[in-house]
Structures are given as C-alpha cells and as structure tokens.
Amino acid sequence: MEFRLIDRIRERTAQGREDVRLGIGDDAALLAVPPGMELAAAVDTLVEGVHFPVGTAPADIGWKALAVNLSDLAAMGATPAWALLALTLPDTLAPAAREAFVDGFADGFAALAGSQRLALVGGDTTRGPLAVSVTVHGFVPAGQALLRAGARVGDAVLVTGTLGDAAAGLALWQRAESDARAASLVARLNRPTPRLAAGLALRGHANACIDVSDGLLADLGHICAASGVGAEIEAALLPRSSALLGLFDDAAARDLALSGGDDYELCFTVPAARATEVQADLARLGCGATRIGRIVAGEGVRVRDADGGWLEPSRRGWDHFAA
Ligand code: ADP
Ligand code: MG
C-alpha cells in the first residue's frame, strides 16, 4: 500500500540506532530494549477538527503528533527511542497533494524526532478522514518511572513553563488574530515542546508527575485521584506568559491557565523541603518551574483566588473539571 508515500516518510525520518535491528520495510520492526531498562509505551491520536484545527500546516501536524506522545514519555521520566506512525489520509486529496502533505508532515515530525534521536520504525498508511496516530516507546531504568500515584500530603505542587497559552492560541486562531503575541500563543498550540529533559531530571525527586494535556485542574485532579490526596493551588501563583496577559484580562487568563488544554507542561509534586533545589536543577536545564500550591489530605483540587477566597467552580465554566 502507498509504497511511494512510505518511502518519502522513511527518507525524511532516517535515524540510525543500534537498538533498531529491523526498521521500516518488513511485517514488523525488531527492537532491542537495553538491559536493566523498562519499556515505556504510549499512543495518542490526533483527528483533524478535533485535536488540531482544519487548515493546520502539515509540518505542524507532524511535529504535534509526535510532541504530544513525547510529552507522555517526559511525564514518566523516560528517554524516547522509537515510534510507529499510523496515518489516515483523505482520498479526496489528489496524489500530488497527498505527497505534498506527507512531505510536510514528515519534515515536521523529523524536526522533533531528530532532536531526540528517535527512530520511526514502522506504521500504517490508510485512506479516510485525516487522522494521525503515533505510538512511542522509551526507556526508563527499572523501577524509576515517574507515576501519577505517589503524591504525599505536604508535597509542594509545581508546574514547568507557563499555562493557558495553547488554549489562548486556539481562541486567537479562530479569531484570525495575527500580531506577534498572538503568533507566539498559536505556536504554543501548533508546536508544543515536550519537557523531556525536565522529566529525566525529576526522576528520583518527584513523588508524582503528569503532563498537562487536558488542563491543569483536570490533570492535577488525576494525580490527586491516583494518589488518594487533595490539592490546594493559588490562582495568583499560576505561571502565565506575558503574551497571554497582554491579550486577555486577568480573569480570562486565569481560567485559561486553570483549564486550558494542550500546553504539555509537566505538573509534579516534590517534598516541600526540596522544592527550591528541584527548581534550581530544572532552571539549569533552561526549564523554569513554578510552585503553585500544595498537596493536602482529602480529595480533589481547590483553587484559592488572589483575594484569599475559594474560587467557585460551578460559575467559572470549568465545573466539568472540578474533582
Ligand atoms: P503490512 O501490510 O505488512 O502492514 P504495509 O504495506 O502496511 O505492510 O507497510 C509496509 C512497511 O512500511 C511496514 O514495515 C510498515 O511498518 C511501514 N509503514 C507503513 N506505513 C507507514 C508509515 N505511515 N510510517 C512509517 N512506516 C510505515
Ligand atoms: Mg500495514
């Protein structure tokens, strides 16, 4: 099937790796997991119009399809190694348009894969509504993966980078706004940066970790549920970019930071006494992390507003995220 397309993808993503005994071309890839390592495996599917807006550039789709998966490996503290790619392309596309799409897609995918020495080792190519499914595999020393379960009462809650940018970017894209600040937010939506180095640095330090794909409240809620604890966060401490604060009022920026998805930052907990040291470690890697709250006994995530009162979820439009 589609051999010319597969060849174009293979040429653009070539990456020599010792542990790939057999890559694209046979019925299955043959891969060697290094001794002492566990295999971390994750898959995410992006459907046009659902996970990326219609009209997104092929190279951005290629980057993002891999980035969202690498973010899952980052959240586990795993080092990426291999990927599989299932590509569903509309049969309404003429052959030349299909090739142009595949070339752009593969270039965006390869830009990120190459930076991580990740090898594309196989996949599947079919016709239908535009959708991309990437499976990634990575390594983590046995027993050292970062889990959602493990947060303890008294832990500090931290988050890398800034929150709310990608959701703001989506809103601006829909309004076709295009100044430099808007462009930086749209770039957060289309070209998320998986926090791989931070994830590795958190091994042995973080008690719990997750990547923020569905919004901070939802994803920190997953840590709480898995760990059997609650969390209290301070709205005033939420890290927000100057572009976000420049284009949205404070309440809107706060709500985007609390519940906007697609930022792919890491949210993690560490013993409070070690929070400053961990922040310094991450800062040395060029990845800022902000302390936003703490783990408490109980369940669910509560948010204290700048005036000291608790935010009322049901009136904020993010009540479906409340624990
Ligand atoms: P099969 O019928 O055995 O599934 P295919 O014709 O689907 O074989 O695929 C041929 C080879 O190309 C396989 O090694 C497969 O993993 C690889 N391949 C197919 N589609 C892709 C893709 N989109 N990206 C990377 N490799 C692919
Ligand atoms: Mg196949």
- CATH of the structural domain 2-141, one choice from 3.40.47.10, 2.160.10.10, 3.90.1150.10, 3.30.1330.10: 3.30.1330.10
Core vs surface per residue 20-59: b (16+ CB within 10 A) or e: beebbeeeebebeeeeebbebbbebbbebeebbeeebebb
Looking at residue 313, its pLDDT comes to: 63
Residue 1 Cβ inside 6 Å of ligand 1? The answer reads: yes
Is 211 labelled a binding residue?
yes
Residue 124 Cβ inside 6 Å of ligand 1? The answer reads: yes
Please give the radius of gyration of the chain, using alpha carbons only, rounded to the nearest integer: 20
Q: Return the ligand number nearest the Cα of 3.
A: 1
Q: Can you tell me which atom of ligand 1 is nearest the CA of 25?
A: 14
**Whether pLDDT at 201 is above 60:** yes
**Whether pLDDT at 240 is above 50:** yes
Q: Can you tell me which atom of ligand 1 is nearest the CA of 13?
A: 25
Mean pLDDT of 184-212: 97
**Whether pLDDT at 321 is above 50:** no
**Whether pLDDT at 314 is above 60:** no
- Choose between 223 and 55: higher pLDDT: 223
Is 7 labelled a binding residue?
no
Residue 186 Cβ inside 6 Å of ligand 1? The answer reads: no
User: Atom 22 (ligand 1): residue with closest C-alpha?
Assistant: 123
Mean pLDDT of 275-295: 97
Q: Single out the residue of 137, 138, 125 nearest to residue 24, CA to CA.
A: 125
User: Atom 7 (ligand 1): residue with closest C-alpha?
Assistant: 124
Mean pLDDT of 300-315: 84
> For the chain, what are the domain ranges?
2-141, 156-311
- Provide the 10 A C-beta neighbour count for residue 272: 15
- CATH of the structural domain 156-311, one choice from 3.90.1170.50, 3.90.650.10, 1.10.287.40, 3.10.580.10: 3.90.650.10
Pocket test for ligand 1, best of 105, 125, 133 (most atoms within 8 A of CB): 125
pLDDT tens digit sequence for 8-17: 899 888 888 9
**Distance, CA 174 to ligand 2 centroid (Å)?**
36
**Whether pLDDT at 320 is above 50:** no
In a 10 Å sphere around its CB, with 0-12 CB exposed, 13-18 middle and 19+ buried, how is residue 137 labelled? buried
Structural contact between residues 181 and 60, judged by C-beta atoms closer than 8 angstroms: no
User: Atom 27 (ligand 1): residue with closest C-alpha?
Assistant: 123
Look up residue 186 and give its two tokens: 């749209």
Is 27 labelled a binding residue?
yes
Look up residue 250 and give its two tokens: 């404070």
pLDDT tens digit sequence for 78-133: 999 999 999 999 989 898 999 999 999 999 999 999 999 999 999 999 999 999 99
pLDDT above 70 as % of the chain: 96
pTM to 2 decimal places: 0.94
In a 10 Å sphere around its CB, with 0-12 CB exposed, 13-18 middle and 19+ buried, how is residue 301 labelled? buried
**Distance, CA 25 to ligand 1 centroid (Å)?**
7
Residues 6+ apart with CB under 8 A from 23: 10, 29, 119, 120, 121, 122
Q: Return the ligand number nearest the Cα of 10.
A: 1
- Would the CATH topology of 2-141 be identical to that of 156-311? no
